[in-house]
């Protein structure tokens, strides 16, 4: 409630935009997916899949760099061809699929799962905020 001197009392009710809740939820799960993978990836590779520490660190670095570089591709494809909504849905589906495959704990599926997650982040991240 805002009171002005020598004026009537005016009540301002401001609501958040309807899409803000979906945006916040999507961003939260995307960041949770990325940071959980970052936090646990080397431990998972060394302990569960028996990778050497150097190989695990190299894979971690590659995954991290792809998650920061692939939004360039995702933004370009969304701007030129698909549009933001299709890119967001495609990115979310890729992240979900990659996390499911990553949970299977099979070494031959590890690289495709991480690439799928990185691609999903690449399509989702630059488009969801706008």
Give pLDDT, residue 14: 76
Between CA 105 and CA 86 the distance in angstroms is 30
pLDDT digits (tens, 9 = 90+) for 42-79: 898 898 888 999 999 999 999 999 989 999 999 999 99
Give pLDDT, residue 78: 93
Helix, strand or coil, per DSSP, at residue 38:
helix
Cβ–Cβ under 8 Å, residues 110 and 49 = yes
Between CA 6 and CA 18 the distance in angstroms is 35
Q: Model pTM greater than 0.75?
A: yes
Between CA 125 and CA 117 the distance in angstroms is 12
Give pLDDT, residue 106: 80
The predicted model gives 87-108 an average pLDDT of 88
The predicted model gives 103-126 an average pLDDT of 88
Give pLDDT, residue 11: 58
Give pLDDT, residue 26: 81
Is the model's pLDDT at 3 over the cut of 60? Answer: no
pLDDT digits (tens, 9 = 90+) for 4-43: 565 555 555 677 777 778 778 888 887 887 787 777 888 9
Is the model's pLDDT at 85 over the cut of 70? Answer: yes
Q: Quick one: DSSP state of residue 51? A: -
């Amino acid at each position: 409630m805002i009171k002005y001197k020598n004026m009537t009392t005016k009540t301002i009710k401001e609501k958040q935009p309807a899409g803000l809740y979906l945006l916040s939820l999507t961003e939260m799960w995307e960041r949770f997916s990325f940071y959980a993978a970052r936090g646990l990836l080397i431990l998972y590779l060394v302990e569960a899949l028996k990778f050497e520490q150097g190989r695990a660190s190299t894979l971690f670095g590659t995954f991290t760099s792809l998650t920061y570089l692939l939004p360039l591709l995702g933004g370009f494809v969304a701007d030129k061809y698909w549009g933001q909504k299709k890119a967001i849905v495609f990115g979310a589906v890729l992240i979900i699929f990659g996390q499911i495959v990553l949970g299977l704990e099979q070494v031959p599926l590890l690289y495709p799962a991480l690439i799928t997650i990185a691609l999903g982040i690449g399509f989702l991240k630059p488009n969801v905020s706008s």
